[in-house]
Structure 1
Amino acid sequence: MLTRTLGRTGPAVSALGLGLMGMSDLYGPADDAESVATIHAALDAGVTLLDTGDFYGMGHNELLLRDALRGRNRDHAVISVKFGALRGPDGSWLGYDSRPEAIKTFLAYTLRRLGTDHVDVYRPSRLDPAVPIEDQVGTLGELVKAGYVRHIGLSEVGADTLRRAAAVHPISDLQIEYSLLSRGIEAEILPTARELGIGVTAYGVLSRGLLSGHWSPSRELAAGDFRGYSPRFRGENLDRNLALTDALAKLAAAKGITTAQLAIAWVAAQGDDVVPLVGARTRARLAESLGTTDVELTDADLAEIEAAVPAGAAAGGRYADAQLAHLDSEK
């Protein structure tokens, strides 16, 4: 497994990371035993970056990761944790809280659930508009000094917020959606991150399954699968987006790889400062994603991909309007 560094100040991590959200939440039922086996397979393959959130399954995801790391060398994993999202007992979303006292409380519970004395990268899941980013990063900096956090990350923030945050404390990386269907960061956010020496951990690289090559218009979504509310998975939007996937599939077939592998490889090819996160929930899907590490894209390949799926071609927003309103990266 090749490695990349999260920005100028962050840790060295595997060139491909594993996002754990779907093992606990938002994509329908998952099997805990298979999830743990998938994390084990990732670690055995050299994947070190494991991304979770304290609100994924209301703590379930962190407990799952604790189970997976039991008996393993903790220092072989780079654990990235998002915090701040508030949820009710019914799973509803209640806003975000990044007050200094809330950050410290969230971390205390995370450390206990994970069974560790530190988190490698700790980041607010969204920008809390009620708390200046300087105060949020200042509090995280205190936790770095105390040894509870190794590096500070951010998630889904815009260029101005990146600058303000970096003026307070070094930021290792920005976690943000980036795929062939979601390229909004290229105009301002990505250049700013590079100017500041901040890496990018890209989630949604398969656009939540649209670019996987495994999606069909007739697929029925399980209860609780938030893709049922996503504009890109509804009506004519879905048909148009799957047509883009078909075009990508033809290019993948010509290279002797899968559609998903080509989509992931495109993200990885956008720069050595970009680390794709794959949301594999099974060993089979993980194995497919790991095959990406052997894929090399030439300039000609990239030009063909750009022609097949040009920037801005996606039909529908990446989130519903109500969710987009919480994204500083979209303002």
Structure 2
Amino acid sequence: MKIFDIVIIGCGPIGIACALEAKNKGLSYVILEKGPIVNSLFNYPVNMQFFSSSEKLEIDEIPFISNEAKPRRSEALEYYRRIATSNKLNINLFEKVISISKVESKFTVVSEKNTYSSKNVVIATGFYDIPNTLNIQGEDLPKVSHYYNDPHYYSGQKVVVIGASNSSVDAALECYRKGATVTMVIRGSELGERVKYWVKPDIVNRIKEGSIKVYYNATVKEISKNTITLNTENGLETLQNDFVLALTGYKPDFTFLDQIGVGFSSDENKIPTYNEATMETNIKGVYLAGVICGGMDTHKWFIENSRIHAKMIIKDILVKK
């Protein structure tokens, strides 16, 4: 069995950056990805626009040219796909990793299709695969989704959007403009503080004029086939309802970190243990890259401030080689 210098788990922008740096430095590597290239970005809403400007999403100093200063999902997919294909990166797509184990100085990475041996493992799995659930009756109904894609699907329907973040605001506005009757349910007393500044006036005005109804300081009690019941400041309210978009955020999958014994902070953020200068965890040869470094605090790391992880990791591996 070939022994790679690095197995990279996750083909998001940061996983691709790690592969590029490994290739440039002459290290053998393979990326294992359970879905398509940049799987998380692929699953973003079809009309999604980034908060970051295009130059801040660039990797390996490869120019990212977009029609607007802040690129859209389709442009990002094109950019990262072109990098992966034009550089002929060694990527195995639709190959989910099942387990990681270590014996002495070598790692065994088992996927659904193959088994790999490696001197180092880089975990760059992001956080978009596990939604924060409501844990209420009716959450498992077909009409409930924790992901939002295309507003056309909800045209002419009564849609409840749960949440106050960018994803919730975007979904509410887009569905409203495609002919849905939209109600937002927000646990706090106002919209999220991170709502994109160029979008916030739009949602505020739509709420003010009554085009989109909002319940502040409210939660969902239960969901049925045709209704949704809310806990509001005025007591229980039951609304007629066709679809529920529960856009309440996501959390990282810590399965691989638990398997190989990576430590975590004792607080609620559950931040993995790693060296901030090298990105190496408490397990020698296991490195973290990207959003997963922030544990449950998924707003700490994103593409523009974790691009540097690739060079930090590869530099450390080369020093130890």
Structure 1-normalised TM-score? Answer: 0.29
Structure of greater Rg? 2
**Higher strand share goes to which structure?**
2
TM-score by length of 2: 0.29
